[in-house]
Structure 1
Amino acid sequence: MKLNSLPLFMLRNLQRLDVSVNFSINEPLNIWGLPQLKNLTLRGTISLVPPRSVHHNLESIRLLDYRSCTDELFMRIPNLKTLGVDEGRKINLKCKAFSWFENLAYLYKLEDLHVCEKLLHPEFSTIHSMGTWSVEIFLPNLKKLKLFNTKLNWKNMYVVGMLPKLEVLILRSAGVGRKWKPKDGGFLGLKFLCIESCDLQIWKATGGHFPILECLVMCMDYFEKIPSGFADIATLKSIKLHECSKSAISSAKCIQEEQREYGNNAFTVDILRYDDFVDYFWY
């Protein structure tokens, strides 16, 4: 049965719709006959056309084709808190995919954003000067950001760090370049950082770049070492590693020793099995 042929008039009280299919739906999905719907999840990519009226109840969509991310749609789902965005089945690789990101400004209640594939345009770093507003008021309530295969250059990662309420950042094949030197003044509220399958080898960071970080999770074969300055992060509770080099593990152990010298005996370094590591992507 096709999704659009479901008798929606019989499901007006439905609040959650989970569809387990492994492909994207080419034609737009009509969910607007479900006024009580709060959560929409598809193991694939959804296309939506804007509804005629405002839907205040909808709080979560995973995954939405980026071409559906229009200002018209977002203005009609103002209470959305969770959004996953993908490029869909068919994409013109020559198409500039940056404007969809600007439209996220209409989702001022958004708390959890998941971006898949190459949807962050190289001009992403200009977001701090787009229009008449700044990154400090762009996505003001965003707490979790997951970037999967976005290929964002490390030099532009400072823009992510400027999101005022960001607490969780998960990067999976999301960073381009061998070296990351964070800028001062960012990631002030970040508590959880997970980095996996990136090109990063040299991380020039101090504890001041992640002042209240609590947990660092890493999985990178060629990464050299965790910055020694992480020993100065008083809030740090654990470093968790999976398939990391011996030098990276050794650096984590050195940080553990220093943390214990400071009296933080609860600090741990954990070597994760694959099953345990994967769980952190759904943190």
Structure 2
Amino acid sequence: MLKILYRSKLPDSFSILQDLETLHIETQENIDPMIISRDISLPNLKKLKLCLTRIPWEVVNLLANLPNLEVLNGNCAFVGTDWKVDEDIVFHKLKYLRLSHCCDLERWEAAGSDNFPVLEQLILDKLYRLEEIPESIGEIMTLKFIRIIWCGSDVETSAKKIQQEQESLGNYELQLQITPMLSHVWQQQQQDQQVRQVQQRYFSRSEH
């Protein structure tokens, strides 16, 4: 296992870590997206946890090139309003996907169930702006567990639709857990988001 903590130096390349099975990166220094390149070579990596890395969603898709990745856990790890997973993007062995605090994610599109063919657990935590879960997730017959924590009501509705879709396909074992977001919490989160946006614009101007 390799664990890279806050403000520690990131390796220039992960290609030398051929035998690595677990990788945890936690940093407030933005990762150079080129580190996750199309020829990323971590053939034995099974578990990847990213915290505060702010990786663009289009770069996240390159993680599908990790042939044995089973667990992807992102906490404040990804940035952008849209995550589009095209037909040619396949996370072949991914069983566990957790997305937490991706506060600006609004739209998640997946071309089909083949994007995540063996997904078993999906946890969406505090994705305040996400509009819905892709319908194609409901076609994944290996799905066993969905947990929704403090997301919008539309996400909750789409999760329930997925459970119904699974039951119509004969899978009655899918468990769905929903922790709804209280209205006052939602209002506070909206205010916090606006404050962060103002701060980002201010610091951006200051840098120039």
Kindly indicate whether residue 32 of structure 2 is the aligned counterpart of residue 121 of structure 1. yes
**Where does 1:10-21 land on structure 2 (aligned, <5 Å)?**
none
C-alpha distance in structure 1 between counterparts of 2:79 and 2:64, whole Å: 16
Which whole-Å deviations, capped at 9, do the CAs of 1:9-39 have from their partners, x for residues lacking one?
A: xxxxxxxxxxxxxxxxxxxxxxxxxxxxxxx
**What secondary structure sits across from 2:92 in the alignment?**
coil
Which whole-Å deviations, capped at 9, do the CAs of 1:126-181 have from their partners, x for residues lacking one?
A: x22xxxxx33xx11100000110100000111111110100000011111101000
Larger RCO (CA under 8 A, 6+ residues apart): 2
**Where does 1:101-180 land on structure 2 (aligned, <5 Å)?**
101-102=12-13, 104-117=14-27, 118-125=29-36, 127-128=37-38, 134-135=39-40, 138-180=41-83
2:175 equivalent in structure 1: 268
2:4 equivalent in structure 1: 85
Which whole-Å deviations, capped at 9, do the CAs of 1:174-233 have from their partners, x for residues lacking one?
A: 111010001323211100000011121100113221111001000112211101111110
Percent identity, aligned pairs only, is 36
- Counterpart selection for 1:247 from 154, 158, 164: 154
C-alpha distance in structure 2 between counterparts of 1:271 and 1:185, whole Å: 28
Structure 1 position 119, deviation (Å): 4.7
* Paired residue total: 176
C-alpha distance in structure 2 between counterparts of 1:105 and 1:124, whole Å: 9
1:204 equivalent in structure 2: 109
**Where does 1:199-238 land on structure 2 (aligned, <5 Å)?**
199-205=104-110, 206-219=112-125, 220-238=127-145
C-alpha distance in structure 2 between counterparts of 1:257 and 1:101, whole Å: 46
Unaligned runs of 5+ in 1: 1-81, 90-96, 129-133, 274-283
Amino acid at match of 1:110: L
2:85 equivalent in structure 1: 182
C-alpha distance in structure 2 between counterparts of 1:151 and 1:197, whole Å: 11
Which whole-Å deviations, capped at 9, do the CAs of 1:53-74 have from their partners, x for residues lacking one?
A: xxxxxxxxxxxxxxxxxxxxxx
- The 8 Å contact of residues 124 and 156 in structure 1, kept in 2 or not, is answered as no
C-alpha distance in structure 2 between counterparts of 1:101 and 1:255, whole Å: 41
2:99 equivalent in structure 1: 195
Give the structure-1-normalised TM-score: 0.59
Amino acid at match of 1:123: M
C-alpha distance in structure 1 between counterparts of 2:70 and 2:175, whole Å: 20
C-alpha distance in structure 2 between counterparts of 1:257 and 1:152, whole Å: 33
Unaligned runs of 5+ in 2: 181-208
**What secondary structure sits across from 1:189 in the alignment?**
coil
C-alpha distance in structure 2 between counterparts of 1:111 and 1:122, whole Å: 21
1:70 equivalent in structure 2: none
- The 8 Å contact of residues 87 and 119 in structure 1, kept in 2 or not, is answered as no
C-alpha distance in structure 2 between counterparts of 1:124 and 1:185, whole Å: 19
Runs of 4+ displaced beyond 4 Å: none
